């Protein structure tokens, strides 16, 4: 490279500041030059100030002597008057002589100091003949008679001395003032120059400090962190291109090393469909992260397991290629939301595993909820968009380490994931010890449910449904399990257990057989039966249900089949076909829990239901909250307009009856009327109800 002054300003600037060595050397050189300039200016000003101070001292001394001369001349004037008075004091002659001596002494001092007395307009003539003047005064005083001419001459000569002394004083005072002004100006000039150089030095030092703190040290720290990350096996980042020549020369080989190592690693540790780490890579990276502990500003680490809700529908509707594209975009968005410190891996299908840091300002649960919210924004899959939700389970590591601990953390996060799914999906759940207890309890229920059929632990109960217009009497068939050790087990617990253990079809068939056998004894009643999605997809389900009705001589019109909104039949062709066959066979179809899911309106367009059962969450605040009443009224109005009956579930007290009736509901059900009752109590219950209606009428 040529000499820097031949490069041009821009290239020279880049050449100097592009190197850490030249940048620091240049800054130190500027500091040395500034210090040298300050020293030179200080020395030059010191010499000048010393000379001007001496000049001021001399001028001040001359001015003081001039003042003494004026006083001496004034005293001489007064003594001359005393000497010329008739009968002068005896000391007048000596005093006049002393005054003349003082005048002569002051003139001598002024001459010695170099005062330019001869430059005055009157010169020194008035004082040069001072001795003659003293003689003339003495002579005049010795005469008995006074000569007016001589007296006038004496007075004129004394006045000339006074004028001369005042001229000297004015001249020397001006010289002193000029010397003082010059000293002040020199002092100010020195202060200005020294301050300017000092400010320049401070500015240069601050600039050096700022450059070191905000440019050089951060760059060194970033390079240090880069080397540490590479040494720890973290290859999933791009090495920064540094401006400093020394760091840039090191960054190039490091980037080459990173790419080569990443290429080798990706063969064994990367999911081929998405480019994300696979489960093996996640285990190794998470193990290393646990051993390293939380980073700066991190309170800890959280392990998460994520499932895309209803991912099968995306593959069914758009194809597997689109599903792979969606999974890839989901992983990319997760990485963006969680940041570079998070490990996002695909463990298979639509499941992801994550290890992400959390801080005191943002807890692990808050990060999980933020991730769930971020996934709700639709994904662009090329020509169309798809909106999804995710279910997420997470657990805090709390100092765990070792490969066994990673497996344990994933198992706990899995438990939290199942809790999110069981609670309605589209949410994040944290692991708690209660989840393990619930899992153990669920597994026990799954085992014990197998023997519950043979041991006669299952039985049916029926909850009445009341018509608001004195229509047919109805009951809803509900199954109960009396466990020999646990007592009454809630259907909310053992129905999911039956689904997980693939016993739901057997349980559903048992319920249909027992409920229809009871319905055969109630010829004037209609019965609602809850049907699961697995039953609708079962081969031969329609034939089985028809055979049961013929066996017990029950008209299909007396049976109402309830399916839940979560079934999503608009995406399930087989379930939709089964429902159409059942409806054509005379069964009435009801949509249960209407208002709790996201697909209600789509369901209304896909299939014409005979009845809608409004979820109790829409009814709880009626009469208290105008918004709840408005939502409830709108749901009822929509159902009535499509020709469906409307059942209001959860009527728990008398206050809810009138708002529900006023909205237009055709049926009501709840504890206000009756809890589920045994089969033997059904006919007596409706007999009492009919008698009560007749009595009120």
Q: Which two tokens stand for residue 5?
A: 């002054």
In the predicted model, is pLDDT for residue 117 greater than 70? no
The per-residue b/e assignment along 444-468, b for 16 or more CB within 10 angstroms, e otherwise, is ebbebbeebeeeebbebbbbbbbbe
Tens digit of each residue's pLDDT (9 = 90 or more) over 302-317: 999 999 988 877 777 7
> Cα dist. 224→79, 318, 387, 685 in Å?
97, 47, 42, 81
Degrees, nearest 5: CA angle 463-467-472: 85
Q: Which residue has the tokens 């190197």?
A: 19
Tens digit of each residue's pLDDT (9 = 90 or more) over 446-481: 888 888 888 889 999 999 999 988 778 899 999 999
> Cα dist. 88→96, 101, 167, 673 in Å?
12, 20, 31, 147
Tens digit of each residue's pLDDT (9 = 90 or more) over 271-282: 777 888 888 888
pLDDT band at 432 (very low <50, low <70, confident <90, very high): confident
Tens digit of each residue's pLDDT (9 = 90 or more) over 217-258: 888 888 888 888 888 877 777 788 777 777 777 878 888 877
Q: Find out whether 140 and 151 touch, Cβ atoms under 8 Å.
A: yes
Q: Which of 287, 66, 55, 44 is nearest to 184 (CA)?
A: 55
DSSP state of 277: B
Cβ-based neighbour number of residue 148 at 10 Å = 7
pLDDT band at 602 (very low <50, low <70, confident <90, very high): low
Q: Which two tokens stand for residue 416?
A: 């939290």
Q: Which of 22-26, 66-70, 248-252, 636-640 has the highest mean pLDDT?
A: 636-640
Edge-to-edge strand ranges of the sheet holding 390-396: 343-348, 351-358, 300-308, 390-396, 428-430
Q: Which of 610, 573, 571 is nearest to 592 (CA)?
A: 610
Average pLDDT, whole number, for the chain? 81
Q: Which two tokens stand for residue 690?
A: 């009919």
Cβ-based neighbour number of residue 240 at 10 Å = 16
3 state DSSP class of 562: strand
What average pLDDT does the segment 545-555 reach?
94
Q: What's the half-sphere exposure (Cβ side, CA atoms, 13 Å) at 223?
A: 20
* Burial of 473 per CB tally in 10 Å (0-12, 13-18, 19+): buried
pTM of the model: 0.53
Degrees, nearest 5: CA angle 462-468-472: 55
What average pLDDT does the segment 175-187 reach?
81
Q: Find out whether 644 and 611 touch, Cβ atoms under 8 Å.
A: yes
**Which is it for the CA torsion 197, 199, 202, 204, positive or negative?**
negative
Which H, E and C letters describe 408-437, residue by residue?
HHHHHHHHHHHHHHHCCCCCEEECCHHHHH
DSSP state of 589: E
**Which is it for the CA torsion 131, 133, 137, 140, positive or negative?**
positive
Angstrom distance (rounded) from CA 583 to CA 35: 100
In the predicted model, is pLDDT for residue 430 greater than 60? yes
What average pLDDT does the segment 163-191 reach?
80
Per the model's pLDDT, the better-predicted residue between 432 and 513 turns out to be 513
237: phi then psi, degrees, rounded to nearest 5: -160, 160
What average pLDDT does the segment 287-308 reach?
86
Angstrom distance (rounded) from CA 538 to CA 556: 19
pLDDT number for residue 519 = 95
Q: Which of 75-84, 195-204, 213-222, 391-400 has the highest mean pLDDT?
A: 391-400
Q: Strand 645-648 to strand 588-594: parallel, antiparallel, or no bridges (unpaired)?
A: unpaired
354: phi then psi, degrees, rounded to nearest 5: -135, 140
Non-local CB neighbours of 181 within 8 Å, separated by 6+ positions: none
Tens digit of each residue's pLDDT (9 = 90 or more) over 129-158: 677 777 777 777 776 546 677 677 777 777
Task: Residue count of the chain, please give it.
Answer: 697
Q: Find out whether 653 and 672 touch, Cβ atoms under 8 Å.
A: yes
Cβ-based neighbour number of residue 340 at 10 Å = 9
Paired with 479 in beta bridges are 460
pLDDT number for residue 1 = 46
Q: Which two tokens stand for residue 569?
A: 């039949």
pLDDT number for residue 666 = 92
């Amino acid at each position: 490279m040529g000499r820097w002054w031949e490069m041009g300003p821009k290239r020279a600037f880049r050449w100097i500041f592009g190197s850490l060595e030249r940048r620091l050397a240049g800054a130190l050189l500027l500091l040395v030059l500034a210090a040298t300039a300050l020293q030179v200016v200080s020395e030059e000003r010191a010499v000048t100030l010393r000379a001007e101070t001496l000049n001021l001292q001399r001028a001040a001394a001359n001015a003081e002597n001039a003042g003494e001369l004026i006083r001496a001349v004034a005293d001489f004037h007064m003594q001359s008057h005393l000497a010329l008075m008739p009968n002068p004091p005896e000391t007048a002659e000596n005093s006049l002589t002393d005054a003349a001596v003082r005048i002569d002494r002051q003139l001598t001092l002024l001459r010695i100091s170099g005062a330019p007395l001869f430059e005055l307009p009157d010169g020194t003539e008035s004082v040069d003949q001072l001795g003659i003047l003293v003689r003339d005064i003495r002579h005049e005083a010795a005469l008995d008679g006074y000569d007016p001419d001589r007296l006038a001459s004496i007075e004129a000569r004394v006045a000339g001395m006074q004028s001369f002394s005042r001229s000297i004083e004015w001249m020397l005072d001006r010289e002193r003032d000029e010397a003082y002004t010059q000293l002040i100006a020199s002092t100010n000039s020195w202060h200005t120059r020294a301050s300017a150089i000092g400010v320049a030095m401070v500015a240069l030092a601050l600039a050096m400090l700022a450059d070191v703190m905000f440019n050089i040290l951060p760059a060194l720290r970033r390079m240090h962190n880069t080397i540490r990350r590479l040494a720890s096996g973290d290859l999933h980042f791009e090495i920064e291109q540094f401006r400093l020549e020394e760091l840039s020369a090191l960054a190039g080989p490091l980037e080459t090393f990173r790419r080569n190592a990443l290429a080798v690693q990706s063969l064994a540790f990367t999911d081929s469909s998405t480019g994300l780490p696979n489960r093996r890579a996640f285990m190794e990276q998470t193990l290393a992260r646990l051993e390293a502990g939380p980073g700066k500003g991190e309170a800890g680490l959280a392990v998460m397991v994520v499932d895309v809700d209803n991912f099968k529908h995306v593959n069914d509707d758009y194809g597997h290629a689109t599903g792979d594209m969606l999974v890839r975009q989901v992983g990319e968005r997760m990485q963006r939301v969680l940041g570079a410190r998070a490990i996002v891996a695909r463990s298979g299908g639509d499941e992801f595993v994550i290890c992400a840091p959390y801080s005191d300002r943002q807890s692990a649960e808050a990060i999980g909820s933020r991730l769930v919210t971020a996934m709700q924004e639709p994904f662009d899959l090329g020509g169309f968009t798809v909106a999804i939700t995710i279910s997420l389970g997470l657990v805090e590591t709390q100092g765990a380490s070792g490969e066994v601990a990673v497996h344990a953390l994933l198992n706990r996060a899995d438990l939290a994931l199942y809790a999110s799914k069981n609670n309605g999906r589209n949410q994040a759940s944290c692991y708690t010890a209660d989840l393990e207890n619930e899992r153990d309890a669920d597994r026990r229920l799954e085992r014990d449910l197998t023997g519950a059929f043979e041991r006669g632990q299952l039985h049916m109960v029926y909850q009445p449904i009341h018509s608001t217009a004195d229509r047919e009497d109805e009951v809803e068939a509900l199954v109960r399990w009396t466990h020999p050790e646990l007592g009454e087990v809630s259907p909310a617990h053992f129905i999911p257990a039956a689904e997980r253990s693939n016993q739901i079809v057997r349980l559903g068939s048992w319920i249909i057989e027992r409920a229809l056998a009871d319905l055969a004894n109630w010829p004037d009643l209609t019965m609602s039966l809850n049907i699961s999605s697995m039953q609708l997809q079962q081969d031969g389900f329609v034939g089985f249900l028809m055979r049961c009705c013929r066996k017990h001589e029950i008209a299909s019109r007396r049976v109402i089949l309830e399916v839940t909104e979560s079934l999503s039949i608009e995406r399930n062709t087989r379930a939709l076909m089964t429902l159409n066959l059942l409806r054509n066979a005379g069964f009435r179809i009801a949509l249960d829990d209407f208002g709790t899911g996201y697909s209600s309106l789509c369901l209304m367009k896909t299939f014409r239901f005979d009845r809608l059962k409004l979820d109790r969450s829409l009814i709880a605040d009626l009469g208290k909250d105008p918004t709840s009443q408005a939502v409830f009224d709108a749901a009822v109005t929509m159902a009535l307009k499509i020709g469906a009956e409307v059942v209001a579930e959860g009527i728990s007290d008398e206050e809810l009856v009138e708002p529900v009736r006023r909205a237009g509901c055709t049926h009501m059900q709840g504890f206000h009327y009756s809890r589920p009752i045994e089969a033997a109590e059904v006919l007596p219950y409706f007999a009492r109800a009919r008698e009560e209606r007749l009595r009120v009428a």
